[in-house]
Structure 1
């Protein structure tokens, strides 16, 4: 196996739209990033993060030391929640603006990084709000530089142009995608992720799998997205059981993180569709619901729905989970059951009723999916023809296991 020849302690620069420092110990390379900030005459930054993981992982100790050594002032916003809102982005922006922040350093998983991306746009557009941004009230023309220090192996947001926030008053969870929020620099250090709980480890890895299943089967997919997807599912199915058993296994964390990064690139190219469009209303209504768990609840029904339209691609993609699939449309139910069985083996058997929803909620969920513009645009990418009927069917088929 090619992974055996990789020195996980050798930090490499992976040159994408983002300059990514990848490997065990990559956090120390924040010094190089800080030098580049100084070279751009940046003397003040906004740090956006959650309540505790930035300290618990040791990331902040390194970042704060290097900022102080370089005489770079910082304003710290550490109130980002697991399903962040436009209110949080506005608070962070106001703090950064008061401090004269010229760049954003986001530390955390998708929630802090997406909040930081949003603040980076708003710092460049004084007077605009996050609600306007996520309601398509204006189109940004730029953003201040973004540094993303990633603390999970799921979202891929550290290498792509997407961000997600909830608008509390409308119960909507839109997506934005702008080239200006590709992070300028990112850090992927597996050593920062050994403290993820067993549940978090499972959920973020399932997020990465969802990214590539959608990206490889969308109407905008390309061979690059599909090939990345094959690698992602092979790596996650191989290394998630190892990390699940031993959270401190750095090799497992390295390749789960690599898979997550590849998945971020895959959906940056192929986009997303059903599973993410339908999950966003779930976690908008129940902010305590982990995004990856919401995706896991929906995934078997989604695979069953899209398999007839993309049977050959999915049979190839799902080979590590379902080696007997032959790429025939009539295998749709078997494909959904195989994905469901894999989720159960991962310790994630939950269905919609287990995460607090009832069948009476489906009408509202469909409405939030269909009528939120950014989610409707995701549905346009779904194979076949996505409409209120197909969305409702996926929700309804997610209440009980496929049998």
Structure 2
């Protein structure tokens, strides 16, 4: 019998205003000296100050590190760790999108265990905990608030290092959709497709299990009908709430199953060409799904049904065809560019394809795909997505 290993944050607070309960949650965890890890944009927008106001009202003093960067690097993590070590902190609050949350996880782990981030990349699994992490996402995207993973880019090699283990699982997540109101369309679209990719890949993964399946299907039911709505109207509260819940469930699904080939191929695109993670996933999702589907027709058909684009009684082949049509249509409707349209240099792309294939394989994610590729097959897929072919 196969036993699924399931891990979740100890505390989940979900709903509008959940972020305002930070001080109460810190108290319930027995911690009181937080370092808030965030970025300059959220600080400039006044969102960090509102979070701090709630802490001050409860008599909690916090220091704030605002120097996280998109796609956290070894250098940015080391800067955050040095900042933490200047204070007397007993926990780390990650506040922001995937990059601040991933940064908070890495800083909290290194604060206890030391060493270099490269020491902790897969296949190493870091289960022994670091400082407690409380995650407050401000985008409906990565699901990082509920996952046992973090990703840090090696500045020297441009490798996006996947780091795994219970050390990276936040002890608490405050999931407040009101923090996403008014987020720009491009960010909303990219993070939304990222969430949808998490759910689909978790469901078709070779590591899928009944628990992750339930979360993945629920996420797809929430995300698929609402992603265009929320992009059309940034203030649509019911759509924002559905997307935030779906993003968290997608994170739970892949954290307790896995991601697969889309993510394996996506990370090198982000590392070498600085394409936002959700956008590089979106570039790949239609083509990789079309290539993978013959190996798991029933699973991909289930995705189409959960997304509401195929009838319950419809045959698998027809349902999968609808799924492939929908993923291409979603990219068109949300103006997802191809790598070529995004402005990547053709020669540099072609030169780096062999390295990107090797890095994708080394991450382990392609091995979880229902159809496991060779490096040559991944190179062909990179060529196919270059100009937007499905």
Deviations 1:327-355 (A, max 9, x none): 23x9877753442122212x234212112
Q: Name the structure 1 match of 2:4.
A: none
Tell me how far apart the structure 2 counterparts of residues 144 and 341 of structure 1 sit (CA, whole Å).
43
1:157-306 mapped onto 2 (5 Å cutoff): 157-287=144-274, 289-306=275-292
1:205 Cα deviation from its structure 2 partner: 0.5
Partners of 1:332 and 1:148 lie apart in 2 by 36
Aligned partners of 1:206 and 1:295 also within 8 Å: yes
How far, CA to CA, are the matches of 1:370 and 1:340 in structure 2? 27
Following the alignment from structure 2 to structure 1, what is the Cα–Cα distance between the partners of residues 325 and 383?
Answer: 16
Rounded Cα–Cα distance in structure 1 between residues aligned with 2:361 and 2:283: 23
Q: Displacement of 1:381 after TM fit?
A: 0.7
| In structure 2, distance between residues paired with 1:119 and 1:185 | 16
Match of 1:45 in 2: 34
Q: Distance in 1 between matches of 2:350 and 2:216?
A: 30
Per the TM alignment, residue 75 of structure 1 is displaced from its structure 2 partner at its CA by 2.7
- Structure 1: how far apart are the matches of 2:284 and 2:69? 23
2:106 and 2:71 map into 1 onto residues whose CA distance is: 14
CA distance in 2, matches of 1:88, 1:24: 31
CA distance in 2, matches of 1:336, 1:102: 47
Alignment-derived partner of residue 23 in structure 2: 31
Q: Among 294, 304, 324, which residue is 1:308 paired with?
A: 294
Pairing partner for 1:111 from 82, 85, 99: 99
SS at match of 1:267: helix
SS at match of 1:385: coil
1:148 is aligned to 2:140: no
- Indicate whether 1:83 and 2:75 are aligned: no
Q: Is the 8 A contact 1:117 1:163 kept in 2?
A: yes
Q: Which runs of 4+ in 1 moved over 6 A?
A: 135-138, 330-334
Answer with 383-392 or 319-328: which moved more: 319-328
1:366-388 Cα deviation digits (max 9, x unpaired):
4234246752x111111122220
Aligned CA distance change for structure 1 residues 331 and 28 (closer, same or farther; 3 Å): closer
1:97 CA displacement: 1.1
- Does the 8 Å contact 1:174/1:374 carry over to 2? no
Paired position in structure 1 for 2:3:
none
Structure 1 unaligned regions, length at least 5: 1-14
TM-score, normalization by structure 1: 0.87
SS of the residue corresponding to residue 28 of structure 1 reads: helix
Matched length? 380
Q: Distance in 2 between the 1:194 and 1:265 partners?
A: 23
Change (3 A) 1:385 1:359: farther
- How far, CA to CA, are the matches of 1:253 and 1:57 in structure 2? 20
RMSD of aligned Cα (Å): 2.5
> Could you say what secondary structure the match of 2:179 adopts?
helix
C-alpha distance in structure 1 between counterparts of 2:224 and 2:43, whole Å: 28
Relative distance call for 1:239 and 1:314 in structure 2 (3 A) is: same
Query: Once the 2 structures are TM-superposed, how far is the Cα of residue 89 of structure 1 from its aligned partner?
Result: 0.8
